[in-house]
Homo-oligomer: A and B are copies of this chain.
Amino acid sequence: MPEILVLNGPNLNLLGTREPATYGRATLEDVRALCEAAGERHGFGIDFRQSNHEGALIDALHEARARHAGVVLNAGAYTHTSVALRDAISAIGLPVVEVHLTNIHAREAFRHRSHIAPVALGMICGFGPQGYALAIDALGAHLAGAS
């Protein structure tokens, strides 16, 4: 069964308890369940991870090259500062869908720039945890179209 890597960046481990007015009350475990349900619809296994370390996220993307069919990436704040994550995405050659819980264009100006977007397949933002399910659907459609 093909597997999708769902990779979460810094501070997402606090989801549900962190600024719920901004990020909602669903926890990262709730997001995982939502992803697994969506994966099941497409016949994908889900490898769900989180790290606060930029280097660990890069390592995870590198590993994905041999193991996964695609990536759903919520890079959190590294979205706005990490060229290294951008290069990792270019390097592994897998389809990557960028997800954000909030509409980053409706927040502070420094959140409007994404280093990742130019090398991602596409971006989905502003729909909360539901965005992860949409991302898996998008990946499903993309991989079906590519095969």
Contact = CB atoms under 8 A, between A and B. Distances in A.
Interface string A127-144: 100110010011001100
A56 B53 CA distance: 7
A131 to B, nearest CB: 7
A19 B90 CA distance: 8
Contacts of A126: 120-123
Which 3 pairs of residues, A with B, have the shortest CB-CB distance? A122-B126, A53-B55, A105-B117
A68 B38 CA distance: 28
Interface in A38-85: 51-56, 58-59, 62, 76-78, 80-84
Interface residues of A, number: 55
Within the oligomer, what is the number of copies of this chain?
A: 12
Contact of A88 (B11, B80, B81, B120): B11
Interface in A80-118: 80-84, 86-88, 90-92, 103, 105-106, 110-111, 114-115, 117-118
A125 interface: yes
Contacts of A110: 83, 115
B134 A124 contact: yes
